[in-house]
Chains A and B, each alone.
Chain A
Amino acid sequence: DTGVSQDPRHKITKRGQNVTFRCDPISEHNRLYWYRQTLGQGPEFLTYFQNEAQLEKSRLLSDRFSAERPKGSFSTLEIQRTEQGDSAMYLCASSSGGNEQFFGPGTRLTVL
């Protein structure tokens, strides 16, 4: 399978703990995006990388959130001191020179 992969698929954590998610984009896709989706809503943009450079961050991305793409391949999204409001599906997407974004299966986070 050469699509976007995300790990883990599910994460349950207690409030105040840190969590980290990983995204592996489609091979040779230079653009990588993170979105967050809550129940009954469409995905909301969080941040965007072109190669290893983080070029845009949403105001939704508070100081507790950090994303990296150190070698321009996989990316990680870390949430520090999780809150119940962070419970959501975290989606990763990638694209190449065109604008079509292909999404991974998502990581479902539950904060107790």
Chain B
Amino acid sequence: QKEVEQDPGPLSVPEGAIVSLNCTYSNSAFQYFMWYRQYSRKGPELLMYTYSSGNKEDGRFTAQVDKSSKYISLFIRDSQPSDSATYLCAMSGRASGTYKYIFGTGTRLKVLA
């Protein structure tokens, strides 16, 4: 079993839809939870960075962390064709003595005009 599980998709939605992307994890030592956007053949771009449980909002993006369920989500409101990309969740835990990130496989999102 992988430490971080993420549905690879692809996920296709119409323009303007609310998109929900999710990851589950097994390591309770994770404390930091990140979402990256990656366009084809480009490096990952940091979208959201959260610590511990709770919600964080930034423009059209909302990140949620539920540590009790070991489940994190990214919501994208009013999705646009330019949001079409692969979305990667990542986690790390200083309690485990390392700063390395553990990534999910990524979910491919297509927003149709």
Report A's interface with B, CB cutoff 8 A.
4, 6, 31, 33, 35, 40-45, 48, 56, 58, 89, 91, 95, 99-106, 108
Contact A106 B43 (CB under 8 A): yes
Q: Would B103 and A56 count as touching, CB distance under 8 A?
A: no
Q: Which of B59-111 contact A (CB under 8 A)?
A: 88, 90, 92, 94, 98-106
CB within 8 Å for A43 and B103 given contacts A100-B46, A106-B42: yes
Q: Check B94–A102 contact: CB distance below 8 A.
A: no
Is B44 an interface residue when CB atoms closer than 8 A count as contact?
A: yes
Q: How far is the CB of B28 from chain A (nearest CB, A)?
A: 18
B8 touches A48 (CB 8 A): no
In the assembled complex, how far is the CB of residue A52 from the closest CB belonging to chain B, in whole angstroms?
16
A-B pair count, CB < 8 Å, reads 62
Instruction: List the 3 shortest-distance A-B pairs measured between CB atoms, nearest first.
Output: A42-B103, A103-B43, A45-B100
A99 x B94 contact (CB < 8 A): yes
Q: Give the residue name and chain of the A residue nearest to B98 (CB).
A: A56
Interface size class of B (residues with CB under 8 A): 20 to 34
- Distance (whole angstroms) from the CB of B71 to the closest CB of chain A: 17
Contact present for B99 and A31 (CB under 8 Å) = yes
CA distance A58 to B49 in the complex (A): 24
**With contact pairs A99-B32, A99-B92, A99-B94 given, residues A43 and B44 touching in the complex (Cβ less than 8 Å):** yes
CB within 8 A of A41: which of B42, B94, B105? Answer: B105
Q: Is B57 an interface residue (CB 8 A)?
A: no
Q: How far is the CA of A81 from the CA of B57 in the complex (A)?
A: 47
A-B contact pairs, 9 of them (CB 8 A): A40-B105, A41-B105, A43-B88, A48-B98, A56-B98, A95-B99, A99-B49, A103-B44, A103-B46
Closest chain-A Cβ to B37's Cβ sits at a distance in Å of 11
Chain A residues within 8 Å of B88, by CB = 42-43
- A17 and B49 CA atoms in complex are apart in Å by 39
